[in-house]
Structure 1
C-alpha cells in the first residue's frame, strides 16, 4: 500500500479545485472536433494548449506529435508528455486519452452553447466534459497532489501521457503513430482514462474491451436487372443469397455459425461471472436504453456476459434490387450485406476474417460472384483480475471512493489494443464517467464530485504502482 497520506491529498485537491476547474473550462472552450475539416486548426490549438498546460504542471517534456500520413492525409495532432521518476527502479506508466470531441451545436438539443462550459447542481456541462477532456485533465491535478502529499519532486513512476487527437474519428492513424514512436512510448503498464463506471453509487474498474472486424459483402448475379417472370426461379438471385447468408449467420442456439469463429476464445471465468452477477443490473431499465422490447442472444449466458465477454456477429445492413414505390418485378443484378463481428480475448482478427471469407464462398451457388471487403480490425484486450497493476488501480479507487470496487468490461471497441499489441504492456482502465453523462449526446456533463474522485485516485495510484504494479 502506498504511504501517500489521504488527508494531505484531499486537502491539496480542495485547495486547488477552483483553479483546476477554471483551466478545464478554458480547454473545453476549444471546439476540437476532429471529424470536421473546418475545425482542424482548433484541434491543433487544443493539442498545443494541453502541451503548454502539462509543461506548467511540471512535465519536463511535452510535445505535439503529428501522426504519419495515411490514405486520407496526415492525422490530427496528439500530445506526448513525459516526467521521469527519480527512482532508478521505478516502473513506467503510460496514460492514454484523447482531446478531440464529437460535433455539437445548439440546434442538436443543447440547452446552452456546447463549447461554453456551465456548472449547475454540481455538474459541469460542455462537449468533452466527460469524453474525454475531463478524464484526461484530472491527471494534471492528480500528479500534483501526489507530489505535494509525499514531498517528492518527481512522480513515484516514470509517467508518460499520450493524448490522441482523432479518437472520435475512429483513430485511423493512431496505430501508425504508436509504431513510429514505440521506443519513446515503451512502458510497463498502460492506463486508459477514456471509460466509465457502472454508476455514481457503484464504482467499477473495466478489465477489457472487445475487438472489432466489420465488412461488406457484395454479391453479383445477372449483368443487369432482369424480368422475374421470364427468368425468376431459373437463375441465381443475389438478393435472395444475401438473405440466405444473413439467415445462416447464427444457429438455433444463437451462436455464430461461421466455422472456426470461436477458435481461441477465452471464456469468462467462474469468478468473473460471479462478479458480473453482483452488479445491480436492472434488465428492464437496460432494455429502455436499448429501445428494445426483449433480450436475445447466445444460449447459456446472461445479458451482461453477452455484451462484455462473448463474441458476436451482427447484420448491420442488407440491400439489393428495387427499393422505390410500388412493385418492380425483377431479379436484381446486385445485393449487399454489411456485417460486424465483436471479438473477445484469444481471438485473432486475421483468422476471423479468413473464416468469414471461407464461409461466404462455401455458401454461395454458381453464378453468384462475390467480394468481401473488410475495413480494418481492432484487437480485443483483457487484463486478468489478479494482475498486480490492476490490483493497484482497485486499491487506489477504493481509497478515493471509500467502498468496494467492482468489475466490468466494455462491449465496444477502441484503440487500446494498439497500445497493448505494439508496446507489449497490459492495458488497465481508470475512468469516472457514468452513463448519465451523455457521451456524444446533447448536454454532455461530468459529475464534479466524481471528477475529484478521479483526481484523488490518480494521486494514490502512482505510489501504489511503484510498490506493487510490476507484473509478477
Structure 2
C-alpha cells in the first residue's frame, strides 16, 4: 500500500533526521553574536553558511543582504504555478551573548545532544526554528511529488534581531518589491508547553523613552534651599506615582485610544489554557500579581497595553546620608502597545503628559528610542486556519490552542511596510531558556516544526489561492 502524503512527510523527515541535526550543529558552532563587535566576522560567516545551506536545499536564489549593521539572508523559491500565493518566512540568525562563566554547563557554541535535547546558544532562538524550514520544504516536495513549492516561498533571515533590529525596517523598505508577499510567517516564537501545542496570534509593540530632569545647576544644601526650590528627584517620583491610577490603568490622556478590545471568544480561548498562576509567579521570581483591574494575568501580558518604570536615578546613592537637593534625576519608561495603538501617537501623548506634570523651575529632556508596532492576526483569517491545520497534522490531531506574546519584535515592520498579515509558527517551549544559560531545543518538537512547515505550503496554496 502506498503512503499517504501525511505519512510520506513523516517518513521523509525521519529518514533525514540525522543529517538535518548534523547540519544544524555545524551552524550552531558559529558564535553569531550581533551585539558584540568582536563577533562581526562570525555573524557574516553565519549568513554565508546559511546561504550555502539554502542553496543545497534547492532554493534557486540565496543571497547575503548587507545592511549598515549585520547582514541578513534572503532566499526565494518560486512555485511552478504563477498564480500561487506568496509566503515570506521571517527569522534571525544572530544570537545572544553566551559564555561558560554565565552558568553554562558546557561550551555554548559546542552543541551537545543529550536525552532528546540539543543544547547550544541559538538552538531554539532562533537557528533551530529557522533551519527546520530547510527540511520542511524538502519533505513537502517529496510527499507531493512537486519540483517546486506549492507557494512562492521567500525567506528573510535577519542578522541583528538580538541587538535591536536597528537596520531592519530600512532593509525591508529598500527591498519591499522583492519581499512582497500575501502573508508573512514568523518562526521566532514558541508554544505553551511540550504537551499543549499552540499558535501565537499576536505580539505587542513597544515605545520607550528617557526623561532627564534638571533643577539646580549643581547639588545644593537641603537645609539652606530645601522647600524653596523644586527638587528634580521629587518631580521624578511624582511622575512615576502619577503614571497609574488605583486600578493600575495608565493615566496618560489618550493612551487607550484605539485599543482593540478583547472579544468574549478570545477571553474564552485564553481561559482554556492550563495556566498555573503559582508556577507562573515562580518563573517570574515574584510573590504576587498586580495589574489592570478587570483582566486576568494572561490578558494583562498578552492583550493589554502597559507602562513600566524600568529605571529611576538621581541624588546621592552612597552609604550614609548626604543632605542635598540633587541637580538632576532620570527616568526610563517603556510602553507595551497592542493592536490599534500607534507608537507615534503614544509618543505625542507622553510628551504632552510630561509637559503638564513638570513644574516651573525644572528643565527636562525627553527622548524616544526606535519603536515597534504591535501586530495581531484575526482568529478567522484563512491563513491562520492553515497554520492550525498543518500543526494539528504534525501533532497527530491534537487540538491546537491560541496564545499571544507579551514581548515585541520586528515582525510588525513587515506587516507595516509590506501590508501583509503576520502569522506565527514556532515550536519552542518555555523550558528552552531563550537568552539564558543552557539554552536548548527539544529535538522531537523541532521535528514537529519541520512537519508543520511541510504541510503548511500546500494548505496555504489552497486557502489563499
TM over 0.5: yes
* Alpha-carbon shift at residue 327 of structure 1 (Å): 1.1
Inter-partner Cα distance in structure 2 for 1:200 and 1:115: 25
Tell me if structure 2 keeps the 8 A contact 1:57–1:144.
yes
Selected match of 1:462 from 433, 457, 463: 457
The structural deviation recorded for 1:320 is: 1.0
Aligned residues: 462
1:369 and 2:368 aligned? no
Which of residues 135, 153, 161 in structure 1 aligns to 2:147? 153
The answer for the alignment partner of 1:255 in structure 2 is 249
Structure 1 unmatched ranges of 5 or more: 68-73
Which of these residues, 171, 193, 197, is aligned with residue 199 of structure 1?
A: 193
Q: CA RMSD in A?
A: 1.0
Aligned-partner Cα distance in 1 for 2:107–2:225 = 59
- Residue aligned with 1:247, SS: helix
8 Å CA contact retained: 1:80, 1:163: yes
Counterparts of 1:45 and 1:328, CA distance in 2 = 53
| CA displacement, residues 347-386 of structure 1 (integer Å, 9 cap, x when unaligned) | 0111100000100110111111111111121000001000
Structure 2 CA distance for aligned equivalents of residues 32 and 229 of structure 1: 55
- CA–CA distance in structure 2, aligned partners of residues 302 and 28 of structure 1: 38
Distance in 2 between residues matched to 1:195 and 1:364, nearest whole Å: 40
Q: Which residue of 2 aligns with 1:58?
A: 58
Spell out the pairing of 1:73-472 with structure 2 (5 A cutoff). Answer: 74-402=68-396, 403-469=398-464
Check 1:4–1:459 CA distance in 2 against 1; reply closer, same or farther (3 A cut): farther
Please give the TM-score of this superposition, normalised by the length of structure 2. 0.98
Task: Please say if residues 221 and 238 of structure 1, whose CA atoms lie closer than 8 Å, have aligned partners that are also in contact.
Answer: yes
Please list every run of 5 or more consecutive structure 2 residues that lacks an aligned counterpart in the other structure.
Answer: none
C-alpha distance in 1, partners of 2:124/2:373? 25
C-alpha distance in 1 between matches for 2:77 and 2:69:
25
CA distance in 2, matches of 1:322, 1:456: 58
Alpha-carbon distance, 1:469 to partner = 3.2
Mapping of residues 9-88 of structure 1, within 5 Å: 9-67=9-67, 74-88=68-82
In 1, Cα distance between equivalents of 2:360 and 2:82: 67
Q: CA 1:4–1:215 in structure 2 vs 1: closer, same or farther (change >3 Å)?
A: farther
**What is the CA distance between 1:4 and its match in structure 2?**
7.2
Deviations 1:9-52 (A, max 9, x none): 11101111111111111111111111111111111111001001
In the TM superposition, what whole-angstrom CA distance separates every residue of 1:202-254 from its partner, at most 9, and x where no partner exists? 00000000000010111111111111111111111111000000000000110
Maintained 8 Å contact 1:29/1:116:
yes
1:52, 1:310 → 2: CA distance?
A: 42
**2:341 match: secondary structure:** coil
Question: Hey, what does 1:71 align to over in structure 2?
Answer: none
CA distance in 1, matches of 2:211, 2:197: 42
Question: 1:128-163 CA distances to partner (integer Å, 9 max, x unpaired)?
Answer: 110100000000000000000000000000000000
User: What stretches of structure 1 move > 6 A for 4+ residues in a row?
Assistant: none
Report the 3-state secondary structure (helix = DSSP H, G, I; strand = E; otherwise coil) of the residue aligned with 1:317. strand
